[in-house]
Amino acid sequence: MIVTVSVNYADFLVHTLPFMKAVDDVTVVTHPDDHETIGLCKESDIKMHQTKVFYKDHARFDKAAAISEAIKGMSGWVLLLDADILIPKTLKYDGLDQNKLYTYRRRLIESPNGLRAFYQGKRDFREFQVGRNGYCGEHNNWVGLLGYFQLFHANNLPAKYLGSYRDASTYDVVFGRRWTAEDRQYIPGYVYHLGQVNKNWRGRKTPRFEVPA
């Protein structure tokens, strides 16, 4: 099951959802007031988990609590995926170790024009830089710690998921560190991150991502 949070992210989700649907069943976690996301999910026949917990007890954007509600009772492989991530349609779970946490390296498509160029087969992206040590390579300590893509088996869920946070800035790192560095691994290949990064930890702040015709 792919679980993705979309609160005011329907302009991204309309591009990423077809890639998700090609891989697995999808649950979109959203707020009842996000009518654009709800409408897109109904149109696409996608399961939703609607919750107001994002802002419970004056939280700014408690993404972790919303995900915790949505994944309760799930079985098999669970992929926590940001709504602005394009994943390979060829992704398979066969041969993966149920005791490990998996992720992909990430490339950035920062503008709507860049996505249009990507659809046309042109290279219009840049490699992602992370942490003080620079490039997010094979030996970087950040492998699997960033929530744009965290794939794990539900057999590990009762011991490994967590509660609530004031915003979305750190929960994914805390979650990922419940696996040792040796048990966090890259899947060969890349995912593509649409738009700006490190801007929306407290809810959507960035401009809409409108791809020109």
Give pLDDT, residue 140.
56
Could you give the residue ranges of the DSSP H alpha helices within the chain?
10-21, 35-44, 63-71, 112-119, 157-160, 171-176
Confidence of residue 133 (pLDDT cuts 50, 70, 90): very low
- Assess if residue 120 is contained within a domain: yes
pLDDT at residue 181 tops 50: yes
- Assess if residue 13 is contained within a domain: yes
Q: Tell me the whole-structure pTM to 2 decimals.
A: 0.92
pLDDT tens, position by position, 135-145 = 444 445 678 88
The secondary structure of residue 168, as a DSSP letter, is S
Print the domain residue range for 69: 2-194
Residues of the chain with pLDDT > 90, as a percent, come to 72
- Assess if residue 199 is contained within a domain: no
Q: What is the mean pLDDT of residues 88-102?
A: 95
User: What sign does the dihedral 107-3-40-20 (CA atoms) show?
Assistant: positive
Confidence of residue 187 (pLDDT cuts 50, 70, 90): very high
CA of residue 63 relative to chain centroid, distance: 11
- Assess if residue 29 is contained within a domain: yes
pLDDT tens, position by position, 24-36 = 999 999 999 999 9
Contact 201, 169 (CB under 8 A): yes
Cβ-Cβ contacts under 8 Å for 185 (sequence gap 6 or more): 100, 101, 102, 103, 143, 144
What is the C-alpha separation between 84 and 32, in angstroms, rounded?
20
* Single-letter amino acid, residue 120: Q
Confidence of residue 129 (pLDDT cuts 50, 70, 90): low
- Assess if residue 205 is contained within a domain: no
- Residue among 201, 196, 194 nearest 172 (CA): 201
What is the C-alpha separation between 128 and 125, in angstroms, rounded?
9
Confidence of residue 122 (pLDDT cuts 50, 70, 90): confident
What is the C-alpha separation between 40 and 110, in angstroms, rounded?
23
pLDDT tens, position by position, 57-87 = 999 999 999 999 999 889 999 999 999 999 9
pLDDT, the chain, mean: 90
- Assess if residue 124 is contained within a domain: yes
Query: Residue 12: exposed, middle, or buried by beta-carbon count in 10 A (0-12, 13-18, 19+)?
Result: buried
Q: What is the CATH number of the domain that holds 64?
A: 3.90.550.10
* Total structural domains within the chain: 1
- Assess if residue 201 is contained within a domain: no
- Assess if residue 203 is contained within a domain: no
Give pLDDT, residue 135.
40
Give pLDDT, residue 138.
42
- Residue among 90, 91, 96 nearest 76 (CA): 96
Structure tokens at 197: 């990064």
